[in-house]
């Protein structure tokens, strides 16, 4: 299956990163390499210097990018790694300062459209959802091994699903009869658990539960703040960081982190001057998140929940 992912807010990202010829940039979420290719085109305008480091934990993304980015092979380093290890990757490469970091969170179109990966509730497939197929834990493992209470917490906290407890109860009852091994099985359980009146409105009834399991399997929220913090530390003064989120939990983490790094003082408000010694690390460029244009949404409906936040190292 051809690896394709339409890059979200491509022009806005390039502008947000303030990409310049000869700069050093890190794409922490390579995906279909659309953002990486656009960055490389500008980097390549410099006769000397300039480099892009691109990370992805999905070997299919690395393999496809090797072909797509072949014209820039002297300027790009592709690394199979989770962005949680970005500090280690840069250390191993001997890169001390970076001009810009990009995090484009969530799943790629290739992962969603490939039934074998088990991300989609639209296809019947093994209940997998691993972004890195080499990791041991699958969504099926969680569904069949966690307690009812643990499942309910994951579905409620990560999926913001109001019927989380009822879905978890139905899952527990079903797995007593037989293991839950496919996405199709899970979708039918969710449909039975959610009352018909609630299923008639809003998104697909399985959307929130599938989102929650994907986040849990890949530890997406656990690693996000520390990874972005590591990236900020590696930015050179004036360097930019761009983060694209696709749901409220991710966006809240990035919004709060940016604010803390832009206003690190922890002194009580009544203090006339700062005595805690906190130092400002970031300047927030986007006071409100940038969202896709109407034209982009018409051509790429999957971008509808995307939000871009940009900050600059001071």
Domain ranges in the chain? 10-110+220-313, 134-218
> Are 30 and 78 within 8 A, CB to CB?
yes
- Please identify, in words, the CATH class of the domain defined by 10-110+220-313: alpha beta
The confidence score (pLDDT) of residue 129 equals 96
Entry pTM: 0.90
Residue 191 has a pLDDT of: 96
* CATH class of domain segment(s) 134-218: mainly alpha
Residue 4 has pLDDT above 60, yes or no: no
pLDDT over threshold 90, residue 153: yes
pLDDT in tens, 51-87: 999 999 999 999 999 999 999 999 999 999 999 999 9
| Res. 2: pLDDT tops 60 | no
pLDDT of residue 202: 83
Tokens matching residue 181? 């091994």
pLDDT, tens digit, 9 for 90 and up, residues 179-228: 999 999 999 999 999 999 888 888 899 999 999 999 999 999 999 999 99
Using CA of residue 213, residue 214, residue 215, residue 218, what is the dihedral sign?
positive
- pLDDT score for 277: 67
Q: DSSP letter string over 17-72? A: HT--TT-EEEES--TTSHHHHHHHHHHTTSSS--EEEEEES-HHHHHHHHHHTGGG
Q: Which pLDDT belongs to residue 1?
A: 53
The predicted pLDDT at position 5 comes to 61
Q: What's the mean pLDDT in 144-163?
A: 97
Question: Which contacts of 301-306 are long-range, i.e. CB under 8 A and separated by 24 or more positions?
Answer: 302/6, 302/8, 302/109, 302/112, 303/6, 303/8, 303/9, 305/246, 305/247, 306/8, 306/9, 306/244, 306/245, 306/246
What is residue 267's predicted lDDT score, i.e. its pLDDT? Answer: 74
224-277 pLDDT, tens per residue?
999 999 999 999 999 999 999 998 999 999 999 999 999 877 777 777 777 766
């Amino acid at each position: 299956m051809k690896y394709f992912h339409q890059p979200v807010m491509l022009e806005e990202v390039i502008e947000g990163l303030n990409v310049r010829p000869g700069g050093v940039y890190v794409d922490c979420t390579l995906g279909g390499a659309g953002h990486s290719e656009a960055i490389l085109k500008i980097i390549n305008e410099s006769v000397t210097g300039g480099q892009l480091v691109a990370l992805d934990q999905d070997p299919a993304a690395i393999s496809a990018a090797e072909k797509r980015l072949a014209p820039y092979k002297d300027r790009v380093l592709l690394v199979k790694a989770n962005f949680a290890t970005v500090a280690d990757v840069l250390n191993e490469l001997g890169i001390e300062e970076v001009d810009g970091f990009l995090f484009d969170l969530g799943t790629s179109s290739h992962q969603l459209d490939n039934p074998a990966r088990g991300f989609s509730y639209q296809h019947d497939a093994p209940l997998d959802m691993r972004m890195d197929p080499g990791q041991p834990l699958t969504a099926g493992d969680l569904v069949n091994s966690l307690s009812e209470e643990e499942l309910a917490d994951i579905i409620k906290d990560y999926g913001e699903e109001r019927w989380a407890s009822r879905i978890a109860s139905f899952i527990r009852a079903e797995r007593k009869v037989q293991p839950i091994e496919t996405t199709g099985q899970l979708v039918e359980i969710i449909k039975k658990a959610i009352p018909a009146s609630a299923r008639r409105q809003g998104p697909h009834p399985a959307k929130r539960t599938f989102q929650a399991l994907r986040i849990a399997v890949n530890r997406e929220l656990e690693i996000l703040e520390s990874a972005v913090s590591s990236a900020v530390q590696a930015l050179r003064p004036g360097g930019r960081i761009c983060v694209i989120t696709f749901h409220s939990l991710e966006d809240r983490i990035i919004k709060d982190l940016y604010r803390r790094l832009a206003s690190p003082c922890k002194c009580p408000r009544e203090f006339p001057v700062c005595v805690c010694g906190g130092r400002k690390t970031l300047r927030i460029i986007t006071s409100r998140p940038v969202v896709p244009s109407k034209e982009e949404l018409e051509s790429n409906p999957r971008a509808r929940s995307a939000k871009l936040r940009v900050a600059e190292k001071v």
